[in-house]
Amino acid sequence: MLGAADRARGIREPVRMSPSRSTTARRGRLGPGELAEAVVLADVSLALTVLGQVVPLGSALLIAAVVPLAVVAARHRLRAVITGTIAASAVGFLVIGSAAFTSMGACAALGALVGAADRRNWTRRRTMVVGLAVLWPATAVLVDLILLAFANLRRLTLDQVRNGWRGFFHVLRNLGLVRVARPGEHLLTWIVREWWLSVPITLFVLLWFGIWLAIGLSTPALRRVRGAFGAAVVEDEPPDTAEASTEPEPVPVALRDVRYRYPNAHTDALAGITLEVQPAELVAIVGSNGSGKSTLARLLAGRRAPSSGDLIRPGAVGLGREGGTAIVSQRPEAQVLGVRVRDDVVWGMPEPARVDVDAFLERVGLREFADRETSTLSGGELQRLAIAAALARAPKLLISDESTAMVDATGRAQLVTLFDDLAHRDRLALVHVTHRAAEAAVADRTITLAGGRIVDVPARLRSEDRITTSEHRDAVHIGGPLITLEGVGHVYSRKTPWSNRALSDVDLTIREGEAIVVVGHNGSGKSTLAWILSGLLTPSEGSARLDGKPIFDQVGRVGLSFQHARLQLLRPTVLDEVRSAGGVGDAEAHVALKAVGLDPFRFASRRVDELSGGQMRRVVIAGVLASQPRAIVLDEPFAGLDADGRAELDALLTDLRRRGELTLVIVSHDRDLPEGLVDRIVELEAGRIMRDEPLEDARPGPHS
């Protein structure tokens, strides 16, 4: 505890040189970073294993399932591999039964070996020798013991093997291949009789191949991961003991001339920051991408210590602790930890039974959601759930780090009202970080950041969400029908208890050169429509045609850019990616990069993992353009972009439309599209088209 004098002086954040350690050297319980990576990668391994059981040639996937665990082993302690494997096996038991234990166990053993070898820079031969020397005797003895214990099952299985092969040799004999069949039968008899020897020999051969393949598959993946994230995971230092033993008292917090620079960075992310946050105060921090506003949120939340300057608060930050600091971040689905809404509210709390979960859900307007699974909630609902989870800890400081960025207009309005209420009725200190100046209207104070510094601009309440460009769109020519959907409907999981209708009776004609926007809420069927338009999904009813032929026979002729751009970047560098996505050579790839406003000479050899979110999206669009598609479908292209990013993308798309006969379908949950970008709006609700009409164009077009 602190003495009265200490309290008066406040606690100063020590200035540290971020002495992070590699997590391979740690001991004791797994930290959040280690556990999260182990679980997620083991899950990937499980998914591959399950697919391996039901897909033809699935055994290739069974070996691929080693790679994620090898990555865990290369980056973390053995304990992380074991915990991840146990978790995935338990989940796998519900999917493929006890086979999950054997296959996950095998993956873990091979993965641990290959990962350790990678960390120690062993040669392939050394890995093979060590692997066989360690793994083979252990597995051989274990399997023999199991076979000895379950004698009946052993007999049945061996009989099964014998009968199958005997039948095979019988067929060979009938084909006149007695010279092959006879020694084969002898060998078979020996294998079945001397199982205690033949099984370990088989295991040896399998292990030899397994290790060999695992090294071959894992090494390139490990190299890529190292390229993207560095050699091993470094975590933020765990809160020091002083922090953990001090009572949380995060506000009032004062920053005096605070500067912050990320490790290995050449410029300051923040400089000369002086500000104060009081209880019962709603402070908006406004700035565009890269202005340092999220870094500031991290400093306030105690996730980072300032490189210089003072950060003074009366007690500990107490992130996630009762009476401490709570944070709601940008991506709604990323902060959900519980399977059920109710569980998520109390996740990680010491005494969940004492929390009045319903009251907190009521507070954010989610009362009737308590027993729903979190995967069924929309973005805005998830953000409100995150706030309920924050409130359950009775925080004194609530930080919203761009929590409204990925939410639709209705959801945003609800969140902002809630923040207003929490600050002024419940007297929380509330810091709302946003790139939308309009949201600062309810704030008591607005701090505008630019280039890591506080700038002295009064909150300009220009409507940043609507961008009006004065360019003329005179060259756009709209031709005949290109894509026609007639009576299209789709039902997922048909004829199962989970049968779920996503679309019904959709008639839609998209003409050449036209740009339309498809809007609708979560679950309105707009993503299903995007998959059908690009031929990835065959509709269960009706017909979807491109140039008069079914689209699903022409996959690739309609380009699709997914919302999550990173998932679509399959090659290591920008140039490779555009060439592969477009199926073109260097010259065309350069042209495509120029078309999306990325200088080929600067970007061609960049690694895709170094790009920002907006740049990734541009590279995806470049790849789609290079493949010269008949039409392009963009899924939520504006989500998460700030005003500048939106303006740039809008200009890019408008420009592309003007230059070529580009047919464009934008799928969005948000109506706030740049004005004049599209000619037509199609509104989906519960899988049906509720509205399909031309938009009054702000930019004079050819036929207005």
Partner 1 sequence: MSRAETLTPEREPKVRRETELTFLRLVPGTSPVHRLWAGTKLLIAAELALMLSIAPTWPMVAVTATVVGLELLIARIPLGAFPRLPNWIFVFVVVSAALSLWSSEKPLADVGGITLSIGALNQWALFTSLAIVLVVSGALVGWTTPLGDVAPALEKLFRPLRWLRLPVDEWIIAIGLAIRCLPLLIEEIRIVAAARKLRADDDTPTRETPRAVFRQVLAETHDLMATAIVVSIRRARDLADAIVARGGLGAATSLPGARFGVTDALALVATTALCVVTLAVLHL
> How many residues at the interface with partner 1, by CB under 8 A?
142
Binding of partner 1 at residue 400 (CB under 8 A)? Answer: no
- Of 335 and 484, nearer to partner 1 (C-beta) is 335
Of 8, 263, 265, 498, the one binding partner 1 by CB under 8 A: 498
Helix axes 32-54, 78-96, angle to 10 degrees: 40
Minimum CB separation of residue 585 from partner 1 in Å reads: 8
Q: Taking the complex as a whole, how short is the minimal distance between the CB of residue 482 and partner 1, in angstroms?
A: 18
Of the candidate residues 384, 579, 590, 617, the single one contacting partner 1 (CB under 8 A): 579
Single out the residue of 2, 11, 50, 510 in contact with partner 1 (rule: CB under 8 A): 50
* Residue whose CB is less far from partner 1, 228 or 457: 228
- Of 259, 237, 362, 245, the residue nearest 303 (C-alpha): 237
Piece in contact with partner 1 (CB under 8 A), picked from 36-44, 137-145, 590-598, 664-672: 36-44
Q: Is 537 in the site for partner 1 (CB under 8 A)?
A: yes
Nearer to partner 1, 401 or 670 (CB): 401
CA distance 10 to 12: 6
Q: Which helix (H) or strand (E) holds 221?
A: helix 195-229
Contact in structure between 532 and 520 (CB atoms under 8 Å): no
Find the helix packing angle between 613-626 and 574-582, rounded to 10°.
Answer: 40
Short-list 270, 275, 252, 253, CA closest to 307:
270
- Please answer whether residues 317 and 329 qualify as being in contact, where contact means their C-beta atoms are separated by less than 8 angstroms: no
Q: Which residues ranging from 593 to 652 are in contact with partner 1 (CB under 8 A)? A: 609, 627
Q: How far apart are CA 344 and CA 357, in angstroms?
A: 10
Asked if 692 interacts with partner 1 (CB under 8 A), we say: no
Q: Which position among 374, 414, 663, 668 is part of the footprint of partner 1 (CB under 8 A)?
A: 374
Binding segment toward partner 1, per CB under 8 A, in 29-37, 198-206, 647-655, 656-664: 29-37
User: Quick check: 294 binds partner 1 (CB under 8 A)?
Assistant: no
- Please report how close the Cβ of residue 338 comes to partner 1 at its closest, in angstroms: 7
H helix intervals, 120-194: 124-149, 151-174, 178-193
Contact status: 367 vs partner 1 (CB under 8 A): no
Q: What six digits make up the tokens of 650?
A: 């809008």
The pairing of strands 481-492 and 500-511 is antiparallel
Element (H, E) at 483: strand 481-492
Please select the residue that binds partner 1; options are 7, 26, 224, 472, rule is CB under 8 A: 224
Binding partner 1 (rule: CB under 8 A), the pick from 166, 453, 521, 606 is: 166
Which residues, including other chains, have CB under 8 Å from residue 387's CB and lie 6 or more apart?
328, 364, 398, 415, 418, 422
How near is the Cβ of 30 to partner 1 at its closest, in Å? 6
CB of 477 vs partner 1, minimal distance in Å: 26
**Rule CB under 8 A: which of 92-121 touch partner 1?**
93-98
Q: Which residue from 203, 277, 327, 611 is in contact with partner 1, where contact means CB under 8 A?
A: 327
531 touching partner 1, by CB under 8 A: yes
Applying CB under 8 A, which of residues 306, 559, 600, 640 lies at the interface with partner 1?
Answer: 559
Which one among 136, 202, 236, 644 touches partner 1, defined by CB under 8 A? 236
**3-state SS track over 506-546:** EEEEEECCCEEEEECCCCCCHHHHHHHHCCCCCCCEEEEEE
Q: Least CB distance from residue 693 to partner 1, whole Å? A: 29
Q: 123-162: which residues touch partner 1 (CB under 8 A)?
A: 150, 152-153, 156-157, 159-160, 162
Q: Which of 5, 495, 601, 693 binds partner 1 (CB under 8 A)?
A: 495
273 vs 575, beta carbon nearer partner 1: 575
Closest CB 702 distance from partner 1, rounded Å: 31
**Does residue number 347 form part of the binding site for partner 1 (CB under 8 A)?**
yes
Cβ neighbours of residue 120 closer than 8 Å, sequence gap 6 or more: none
560-563: long-range contacts, CB 8 A cutoff, minimum separation 24? 560/530, 560/531, 560/533, 560/534, 560/536, 560/624, 560/632, 560/633, 560/634, 560/635, 561/617, 561/620, 561/621, 561/624, 561/632, 561/633, 561/634, 561/635, 561/637, 562/620, 562/635, 563/635, 563/636, 563/639
Candidates 198-206, 318-326, 435-443, 689-697; binding stretch for partner 1 (CB under 8 A): 318-326
Which of 315, 309, 281 has its CA nearest to residue 296? 309
**Region of 78-86, 418-426, 662-670, 684-692 interacting with partner 1 (CB under 8 A):** 78-86
